[in-house]
Structure 1
Amino acid sequence: MSTATNRPRIAVTLGDPAGVGPELIAKLLSRPENTAAADIVLISDETELKAAGEDAGVAVAYASDPAAGVPVLHDNSAGRPVEVFTRREPTEAGGRWALDNLRIALGMVKRGEADAILFAPLNKTSLHLAGMTENDELRWFEDVLGVEGFTSELNVLPGLWTARVTSHVSLAEVDAGITHENVVRAGRLLDQVLRESGLQAPRIGVCALNPHAGENGRFGRHELDVIAPAVAGLKGEGIDAKGPFPSDTIFLRARAGEFDGVLTMYHDQGQIAMKLMGFDGGVTIAGGLPVPICTPAHGTAFDVVGKGIAHTGSIQNAFDLAVRIGGRRAATA
């Protein structure tokens, strides 16, 4: 962390070069209040930053000296693929570049040189073309960092968080993942990250898996045999958890302010609701890792690349969250 100012040090990567990530980071860093909020290390090169600024219509200020008061460039020009990046479509070269920059950021985490990571949107097809064998970047982060505990993607809108018991698996595999242990672990993680974000007593609502919460076993016994006992276990640990509630109404209650977080059983159970409520402001955070790793909840948006219309709400919220949680970590380190 930055010991001179006790501000968080944020490692920033520009995501897939074929998408809107570079221009979003350029717009983010063109705002003085953002560069004043943290010590920012840009993992990129001058070629990418110049192109990002041109797309965004702004100049990206950076330096090699931390004392300059602008983001510091960790120059990865040596890692740039020899291929010219094709824009607006998944490519192996773009995936390699994105993974290489993220690997540098994760190395900073291992060495205690970063309090948080912010990365712009990635494209999973590009990542898999580049050799990533895991289903998603979270599992890849686990492997690179050597994390063995429970991790989960959490999705965030202002005033509402969600976590998942299962994530990037087929619906056919969801049933096997709904276990007492997994529900408890996911609930603990949601409570922990909410506390790290600044909430002292998070209120968590837990989704049922089956329609109508199973109708007392008529539509399945997950609620009776697994989820309700897990909720009781969370309560026994001092976590304010309630449920299981039918997933077709729990988000109405959450939107009304009854819950700070909702624990869902599978990916789309929460993601559909969250994206309907705030697509242009949503954030994804990787929970259970040594530091918060934040990114916009939207994708690479190939259809609007270079048009100057990419919305900055999610990247701004992701940056603010990285600063807030990273800052709390820096203050206690």
Structure 2
Amino acid sequence: MNQLVDDAATSPAGGRRTVLDVRDLRVQVDTARGTAAIVNGLSYSVAAGETVAVVGESGSGKSVSVMALLGLLPGHARVSGTAAFRGRDLLAMSEAELRTVRGNGIGMVFQDPMTSLNPVLTVGRQLTEGLLAHGRAGGRRAARARAAELLADVGLPDPKGALDRYPHELSGGMRQRVVIAIALSGDPALLIADEATTALDVTVQAQILELVAGLQREHGTGVVWITHDLGVVAGTADRVLVMYGGRCVEDGSVDDVFETPAHPYTRGLLGALPALHDDDGADGAPAERPDLVAIGGTPPPPTDLPAGCVFWPRCPVRGDERCATEQPPLVPVRGGGPVPHRAATFYGDRLQQAEVGA
């Protein structure tokens, strides 16, 4: 097994140790319509204690990119690149090796707990199964005691009683807490949350977000948060990576990307985000709220991506003739903070000072 990074490796997050380093990740699938290029050259890193959010529309490749890391894609998918975790390449591991990592070094929280939990097994059985498989309990009695502790850690009421309940007997928020407890049962260095709060109401969503943040602060876990909800990103992430058409079109700190977006797609996403409150005007009356701006058109199919910039057919700016035929590389944006701010556009500096479509 190739050694890719060691424990001294660092990420842009303040020199902290890197727990995951993804380089040039690509996923292709042959279909009746041709080869679908679902993920195209994705690179990013996650440090201990850091939250990296991956955002974009449905079909942008967010979920596929993390499923590829854990070997959860169907066998006909072709995956290439490297994904260094604890000095080893996840993409080069055998299925047996990946089983030692999944649920142990890396925890995964899926979007729908009703499909990720087995409906015919009790909560206790599903929690203890992982503990016993990874040798984290001395026997079934010790595993059951540890399972109750995990449920208490994630704030589930009556954790001992919950061990004997089935998933359908729990609310959506309680089921998601169970899924998080399972993901954390192996003391993972990395937690991947794929749309983990999308199906929950806003109150439960806030509780889950605070739960993950608290556990992260306590254990120093790196988090990859896959979402299309920019409100969640603003409140939880340190860095954000914006995906479109299987490519990263912008990345940087949350403050830089939200305050000075340099790619027209990022600006389009932010323009479609409603304000949570109105600032008072000079006379004390509510200030006029800006209109929401929709992004025209639809994302390209992965079997027919544009030759140039992947966003060019929908771009309201059309600021450079090269966009139609050349793929702009990710380049640094002027004025970024200590965390690198990059955008895949030929005119990012100009866009930062103007409204899209102006």
Fold conserved between structures, TM > 0.5: no
Choose between structure 1 and 2 for higher RCO, CA contacts under 8 A separated by at least 6 residues. Answer: 1
Higher helix share: 1
TM-score of the aligned structures, taking structure 1 as reference length: 0.30
Calculate the TM-score normalised by the size of structure 2: 0.28
Q: Which has the higher strand share?
A: 2
